[in-house]
Chain A
Amino acid sequence: MEFFSHQTSFRFMATRKVWYTLSALLMIVSLASFFTRGLNLAIDFTGGVSGEVSFPRAVNVEDVRTKLTAAGFREPQVQNFGSSRDIAIRLPPDAKSTATEIRTRLDTALRAVDPGVQVTQLDVVGPQVGNELRVSAIWALFFTLLGIFIYIAFRFHTWRLSSGAILAVLHDPILVLGFFSLTQMSFDLAVVAAMLAVIGYSLNDTVVVFDRIRERFETNRRSPPDVVLDQSINQTLSRTIMTKVVTSIVVVALLFLGGPVLKGFSAALLIGIIAGTYSSIYISSALALDLGLTAEHVFPTVKKAAFDHLP
């Protein structure tokens, strides 16, 4: 089986202005939403209490909320999930009480609703820890991007290719952020991990395409750059699609079967993979072309000798 029975010859570069506009639009929407609506940060980053409790019989959500408010918890969020017996609770951070005190107060308040209550999961994160996790997540993003920029600069000697790759790398996590901001899905530590993985893999495609561009320029110095770029993308197209389909199979399995804990994580990966496929075709290469990339910039820069010792 093959997706494309013969060598495709789509003229990607000819339509690049359309795709630029689309990308710019998506990024603007994402950033606008991020700066206005913000993210629905999970307690990993805000601090506070998040718990899941199971009652022996159906309970009224309003009743639970009233009991929690009476116990001194400000603005408790109480929701059903799964069945009418299972309730998810979220409480804002409370700097005045220790984790132990909160736990005791919560237990008492819930027992007042029904003594048979079972706390299946409870996370209490101090505001200080939440702050630190937020800072370390930002640092992680920063260092990953920095590491990748250094790598690109070192790997592709021409700044034309590097800028294209960097923009593509920024493009994908911005769209993921936009998705989480627009849907207001809970943004937790696992999503940050997924975003970093997305950054890594988004570059993956770009690198494969660039690798081919380099090779095409080497063998075909006289062709106009846009033809070379189109050829390179077409030649790697079936690989790009194939890899993405396979990775999507496992990520979709995670999304639907992995349970609520991995929902945000797998959603972020899926969005990132889709955005990454597109950006490696339309952003990184097209941008390099518009920055005036020609064969002279790429060739003869890379020594194949580095890969003499194949395994």
Chain B
Amino acid sequence: MSQPRVRPPAKPVGGDPITASALGHQPESLQAFLRLYGTLWSHGIVDQPTKEMARIRNARIVDCVVCKNTRFAGPREQGLTEDIVDQIRDGFEASDLTPRQKAVLRWTDAFLSPEPVPDEALRQEMLRHFKPAELVELTAAISIFMGFSKIAVSLGGMPETLPIMVEKTPDWPQ
């Protein structure tokens, strides 16, 4: 495990793992983030397996061990199997993923690239698979996934490996 650069708060406001993490130093922003994340996952218009594919692709590129090994229950229940997840890797173009799934991964890769500007062919391809409002949500989703995983890796304290952890799909905090 790498050394954490920020330790968890001595007296966290809540008892859940995320509040007890370093993010618990800013309880107001954490609550606002959790509300955003819950809105994205449970009050959106893009299907959850599509967002989960983008989340896992991002996790593998940013190399966030926690994000890479987390699975949300909703996408699994809606058919995103580990066989599909295994194909979210470099070389996915030659995989058995559907054209729509490959387009999502291309879009994610474009977002995460040093020059995040999709070419005309990719724009048109995305519009064949997604309505404009869905494309806005998917792009916003990738921005949130990237941000969260970069927060995690830059604060340090990440284990080298983890088992696959199935978590409840995020919803608005209680």
Specify whether A and B are partners: no
Chain A residues in contact with chain B, CB under 8 A?
none
Listed in ascending order, the chain B residues whose CB lies under 8 Å from chain A are: none
